[in-house]
Amino acid sequence: MMRKLSNKQEKAIAKDLGGSVIPNSGGLKTAANWKSDVNTDYEKIEAKITSKKRYTIKFKDLLLNRKYALLDRGKIPLFMFEFLGDRRYVITFCHEERAKEAFIYFESKASSFSVSVDDLYEWSCKGEPIVGIRIRDKSEGVDRHIVIEDYVSWKSYRDGELGEMIINTKALEKLIINNDN
């Protein structure tokens, strides 16, 4: 049942963001571009869905997706999770200043963060981003910052400011290619 829901979720995300679903959630291939659940031209997305009222975000999963995204032509790593029949949330890596703008900000020495659907909804009414967390990337020996945002708010930003950056990047790529010829 959950696999069927997960497939449906991945297809919906791919359609909404103009991407494509990775077959078998990236389990068939070893190359970075075959990992995760959904790829767009600029993003690598890991998507999860749960029927429970709580979701545990495992920081190692975020860092692994970040690694695959960087190996896949420097894509933006995104981690999305959804409470069945409720809202979808997006986790992105960001600068420290952005994380500290969140309604709730903290530094975590733990390996995960568990959050309830009710808390996220309540906190989202008070500001975006909802949660900012400083986590430790032990493999590289550095701290990283993440934010949790409501999908609708995040997508509005993506389609606005980020969309303009993508369009400008594509125009620049076209200009470089034309000048090389």
Domain count, the chain: 1
pLDDT along the chain (181 residues), means of 10: 88 95 67 76 95 97 94 94 94 96 96 96 92 96 97 90 64 62 53
Rounded CA-CA distance 26/32 in Å is: 9
Domain that holds residue 15: 2-180
CA dihedral angle for residue 2, residue 12, residue 73, residue 59, rounded to 10 degrees: -40
In terms of pTM, does the model score above 0.95? no
Please provide the DSSP assignment of 104-152 as one string: EEEE--SSEEEEEHHHHHHHHTT-SS-EEEEEEETTTTEEEEEEEEEHH
Q: In this predicted model, what pLDDT tens digit does every residue of 100-150 receive, in sequence order?
A: 999 999 999 999 999 999 999 999 999 889 999 999 999 999 999 999 999
